[in-house]
Amino acid sequence: MQNPEKSWFGEKNVTPEEKTRGVIGVFDSVANRYDLMNDFMSIGIHRLWKDRFIKMIRPRATIAGRPTNYIDVAGGTGDIAFKIRNKTGAGANITLCDLNYSMLSVGRDRAIDKGWINDFNWVTGNAESLPLPESSTDIYTIAFGLRNVTHIDNALKEAYRVLKPGGKFFCLEFSHVRPFILAKAYDLYSYNVIPKLGEKIVNDRESYQYLVESIRKFPKQKELVQRIENAGFKRAKYTNMSMGIVAIHQGIKI
Ligand SMILES: C[S@@+](CC[C@H](N)C(=O)[O-])C[C@H]1O[C@@H](n2cnc3c(N)ncnc32)[C@H](O)[C@@H]1O
């Protein structure tokens, strides 16, 4: 369990308030260039990870004749919500919730460009205290967001609270690479290349240093399964992609 009084920001120990402020600062600073940097750093592979994530979710416009309620937490500039919308058409209710107004603003501009401005609910809010009633959501998604949340266990409990019985939790996140030799190569790439790319392309080394360190601190695959179950979910499991560079975790509220 996390100690609620202690937190970390990159490699630094900070108070929970400092961590949340730090995360808001990072995403304020990268919002306008976030999509571009994602493509650079992952050589476009983040799109394939997100496509696989959506395949696992199998989005449907309706469940038992009524619109499916989706919440994409830490929805940022909208990639996951847009991919869900692509599959469901306009028939589902899709909410994006993010701590950071700047990220959502970029997402809204993208939605306008697609002619989809009225197809989403845009909410600023914290994954640890979602502005949604209990048992109101069919599908909860969080992509590359959970590692930024100050108290992961609080966010998992909130996911459980807002889901309806039968509702499903899906998390796509950077994870831990195996085998060892690949883990070392990946470490070298991430510690040496990613912050430099951040500096060269968007003149922001610090935010990308934070990214690398936040990945290192995130719980390993099996530990996260356990914590998802501790929050109340059943049938928690994970699927690695790209040898564990990222993993999809799932659970169901019964
Ligand atoms: C790496 S971006 C991911 C954005 C998007 N989901 C994607 O896959 O491209 C992480 C997002 O998490 C948001 N975030 C961080 N902590 C959060 C929290 N406690 N509650 C809600 N959103 C949070 C950030 O503002 C940022 O937009």
Q: What is the CATH number assigned to the segment(s) 7-252?
A: 3.40.50.150
Among 17, 100, 213, say which to mutate for ligand 1: greatest number of ligand atoms within 8 Å of CB.
100
pLDDT on residue 6 = 61
Q: Please say whether the beta carbons of 186 and 246 come within 8 A.
A: no
Look at ligand 1, atom 8, and give the residue with the nearest C-alpha.
Answer: 143
pLDDT in tens, 202-225: 888 988 899 999 999 999 999 999
Q: What are the φ/ψ torsions at residue 3 (nearest 5 degrees)?
A: -80, 120
Among 73, 144, 153, 172, say which to mutate for ligand 1: greatest number of ligand atoms within 8 Å of CB.
144
Q: Name the burial class of residue 98, with classes exposed (0-12), middle (13-18) and buried (19+) by CB atoms within 10 angstroms of its CB.
A: buried
Rounded Cα gap, residues 236 and 101, in angstroms: 31
pLDDT on residue 207 = 87
pLDDT on residue 10 = 66
Look at ligand 1, atom 25, and give the residue with the nearest C-alpha.
Answer: 100
**For the CA of 128, the nearest atom of ligand 1:** 19
User: What string of pLDDT tens digits covers the 254 residues of the chain?
Assistant: 444 446 777 667 889 999 999 999 989 988 998 898 899 888 899 999 999 999 999 999 999 999 999 999 999 999 999 999 999 999 999 999 999 999 999 999 999 999 998 999 999 999 999 999 999 999 999 999 999 999 999 999 999 999 999 999 999 999 999 888 999 999 999 999 999 988 988 888 988 899 999 999 999 999 999 999 999 999 999 999 999 999 999 999 99
**For the CA of 172, the nearest atom of ligand 1:** 8
Centre a 10 Å sphere on the Cβ of residue 145 and count the other Cβ atoms it contains. 23
- Please tell me if the CB atom of residue 27 comes closer than 6 angstroms to any atom of ligand 1: yes
- Please tell me if the CB atom of residue 174 comes closer than 6 angstroms to any atom of ligand 1: no
pLDDT on residue 65 = 96
150 CA distance to ligand 1 centroid (A)? 12
pLDDT on residue 3 = 46
- The string over 99-120, giving b where at least 16 C-beta atoms fall within 10 Å of a residue's C-beta and e elsewhere, is bbebbbebbbebbeeeebeebb
Domain boundaries, the chain: 7-252
